[in-house]
Every structure is written in C-alpha cells, then in structure tokens.
Amino acid sequence: MVTYHIIYEDDRILAVNKPPHLSHHDDQSEHGIISLLRQQRPDGRLYGVHRLDRVTSGVLLLAKDSSTASALMRKFSKREVVKYYVAISHKKAKKKQGWVRGEMAKSRRGSYKLIPEKQSSSDCKEYAVSRYFTAGLGNLDLSSSL
C-alpha cells in the first residue's frame, strides 16, 4: 500500500507529499500517484500541472479543474514558480554554493538534458538555472534507518 500525505487542499488545488519510487502516471506494473489520488475523489478529477520523477519524493501540486490547471501550467512554463530541490547524504561535505546554468536540448523520451556550452546552438529554446548549496550532516550511520 502506498502512503502519501495531503499537505494542502482548497477548492482549486491539492498538494501532496509524493513518496519516492512511485510513478507520476500508470505504468505496466502499478498505478501512478495521479490514478491513486483520482480513485479517492468523488468526481475523479485531478490535473497534474508538473511532475516529479519516479525516484524523487516531494510536494506534487495538482489542480481540481481545467482552468486552474491551465493557469498553473502557464506559470510553470514561464518559470514564475520557484522550486527547491533538497538532497540529503550521510557523508560529510564541504560547504559550497554556486549556480548551474545552461541551455537544454531534447533528450530521450521527451526529457531534456543540460548541454555543454561549447555544444550550444541557436536552436536551443530551453534554458536551465539552478542554485545549489551544500552542507554536510556529518558521517551519520544510516544503516539502522534503512
């Protein structure tokens, strides 16, 4: 049984904490989080406005009607939504910060990849900007929690 928690809900949107190793959409072996959530709704309607990869956990925002979905998808595509990604490691790390910036090119199965600056061309329409910070948690023994 898949466990997820509703973080926020109102008349127009639903925010859930998607667990790792759960697909966004159905695949051959199991239902995705969208189908699981739709099964619990009286009208069965929910619209995905962005995705999280199968292995990624985090907050997934869904719309309850098509007009809200369109408005939110427009905001995501115009990069008016600020997203934060957090990765936790048990290894000690030096504190660093910086930026990853670059053009994106289409990759396999509709995804995008960051391309090296020397390979960029004028036909690239997507651009990625990510800021990162690192801070070590120390050498934690996580074996008992796995």
The span from the CA of 130 to the CA of 111, in Å, is: 17
End-to-end CA distance of the chain: 18
Question: Which two structure tokens, joined as six digits, stand for 55?
Answer: 């292995």
Whether 53 is catalytic is yes
Q: Which of 53, 65, 123, 141 is catalytic?
A: 53
The span from the CA of 58 to the CA of 35, in Å, is: 17
The span from the CA of 85 to the CA of 45, in Å, is: 28
Q: Which residues are designated catalytic?
A: 53
